[in-house]
Chain A
Amino acid sequence: MSHVADRASPIEQELLPEVGAASRWGDRFRRYVPAIIVFILALVWWEAAVNVFHIEGFLLPKPSVIAATFVAELSVVFPAGLFTMREAVGGFVLGSLLGMVIALVTARWAGISEGMMPFAIAVNSTPIVALAPIMNQWFGITNPLGKMSIVAVIVFFPVMINTVKGLTQVDAGALELMRSYAATEFAVLFRVRIPNALPYVFSALKVASTLSVIGAIVSEYFGGSREALGVYISQQAALFHFAEAWAAIIIACLMGISFYAMLLLLERLIMPWHVSIRATEEE
């Protein structure tokens, strides 16, 4: 009967996504061209606008001035950035681990989930940086642990809520199949629920990475160690040293972006199969 029920036809094989390795880098570069052009145009427009409209340097410094200050201040700004990133990353790790663990417990016992989720969602939509002055009191103003705990609280809720979603919003058919294999609850957790949750967890972690940098810097505005980036920014701004403040903001940007990029990379390594990655997936 093989004349009808034959192998995957050549047409089916042709339809499989296939990307030539040679053209991939070219394609990728071409995709970034518009963004690069916009970036350069914005800088040129900014520089020109400051010149043309005679905007005072202490209000809005020119990009060229900021760049020069950035280079000059790098030895101060860069360590400050690292100091603040340590707080951000520390709080991020603490908060997300806790969020995932609580989510596992919550997802397992539906009662806990129903009792806790409304509060989790409510807290998630309150501005937690408002706690910063209180945390400063609790841990001492220069203690990085205070900032870390703020970041941890900020990060905790989105990570927990998304992890619970990922663990519980599993396709009913997938669970029925596991039932037909007489799989243990443990097997269902590790082979279905957790892999199913990964995309949810990563989208939460990506949001959380940005939140953690914001949280760390803003909580430093309420006072902190002299080595901290947030403290540096608020002091320089108070002294009308705006070019210095901007230089520090650039560091904050760069570090936030690298943090985010590292998570993207991790996401790709851990789930090469995921939808959001398919567009650039090879094989």
Chain B
Amino acid sequence: MKPVISISDVSKVYNQGRDNRVYALDSINLEIHAGEFVSLLGPSGCGKSTLLRLIGDLITPSVGTVLVNDKSAAQARRDRDYGMVFQQATLYDWRTVSKNVQLPLEIMNYPRHKRQARVQDMLNLVQLESFGRHYPWQLSGGMQQRVAIARALSFEPSILLMDEPFGALDEMTRERMQMELLRIWEQTKNTVVFVTHSIPEAVFLSGRVAVMSARPGRIAGVIEIDLPRPRNFETREHPRFFEKITEVRECLRREEVTGSTT
């Protein structure tokens, strides 16, 4: 099967040709298939966000190619293949919850009746149907992030790019949001690329975890998470869950050790 996202020999250098240049990513190769849930995991500074932004064409690679559905990442962005969610919900303060979810649809010139139907569906999906007329500041952090997810999915993009979406939430809300995200993902069947620095989060959510190491950012290993789906609170207590966490942690540490000797 052809991959949906195919990253070949991608490097990213900031401030190229100057003394203060930074090798953010070095020769990254990664293929992601349709409907997969893949996490990019690593310490801060490993370039995981940079890699996500390269896939989404928010920045361009210095070397190498990113192909998405057989197109360049730039073309995929213009074709509206990406829904994005960041660490901050980045809701537009001047718009109610409904209007926030509706914004991409306005820009993409959806007819009015279709917009309203989509907004309603999305609010149902994230279970905020009674909050459409609230303003963002009236919602808790977790609820705001659910609105951001609804907005990212409103125009039915095939790929969902998430950059530490639950990073600003407390542990309890975070675990609830992870369940919520899996429930949504099982309904929408998107391909998800999820950036995080939390090992349990990556293991709990993903089908595969790409473990990254820093300076320069590289993929140290890709670990299959073969825990059964649907996953739920019992998954977190499963011995296999802890084995996988250990496996990821050892992969991270191996990198640290070899990294420090070179």
Contact = CB atoms under 8 A, between A and B. Distances in A.
B36 interface: no
Contact of B104 (A15, A181, A192, A275): A181
Given A4-B176, A8-B143, A180 B77 contact: yes
A187 B103 CA distance: 10
Chain B interface mostly:
loop
Contacts of A183: 107
Nearest to B230: A1
B90 interface: yes
Nearest to A176: B58
A182 B180 CA distance: 28
Given A7-B127, A180-B84, A195-B92, A1 B138 contact: no
Nearest to A195: B94
Contact of A4 (B80, B88, B108, B233): B233
B153 to A, nearest CB: 13
Interface in B127-149: 127-128, 130-131, 133-135, 137-140, 143
B93 interface: yes
Interface centre among B94, B108, B230, by most chain A C-beta atoms within 10 angstroms, is B94
Nearest to A192: B92
A8 B128 contact: yes
B108 A5 contact: no
Interface centre among B92, B137, B180, by most chain A C-beta atoms within 10 angstroms, is B92
A12 B78 contact: no
A191 B134 CA distance: 19
A27 interface: no
Contact of B80 (A16, A182, A184): A182
A169 B19 CA distance: 30
Interface in B217-239: 230, 232-233
Interface in B89-133: 90, 92-95, 103-104, 106-108, 127-128, 130-131, 133
B82 interface: yes
Contacts of B82: 180
A78 B112 CA distance: 51
Contact of A173 (B88, B135, B139): B88
Range class of the B interface residue count: 35 or more
Contacts of A274: 93-94
Contacts of A179: 58, 77
B90 A198 contact: no
B241 interface: no
Contacts of A181: 80, 103-104, 107-108, 155
A171 interface: yes
Interface string A1-18: 100111110001001110
B152 to A, nearest CB: 8
A176 B131 contact: no
Return the 6 tightest CB-CB contacts between A and B, nearest first: A173-B90, A5-B180, A195-B94, A5-B179, A180-B84, A183-B107
15 contacts: A4-B176, A5-B176, A173-B86, A177-B84, A179-B77, A180-B84, A181-B107, A184-B107, A191-B103, A191-B107, A192-B92, A273-B135, A273-B137, A274-B93, A278-B137
Given A181-B108, A198-B94, 15 more contacts: A5-B127, A5-B176, A5-B180, A6-B127, A8-B128, A8-B130, A8-B143, A16-B139, A171-B90, A182-B77, A182-B80, A195-B92, A273-B93, A273-B95, A275-B93
Interface of A: 1, 4-8, 12, 15-17, 171, 173-174, 176-184, 187, 191-192, 195-196, 198, 271, 273-275, 278, 283
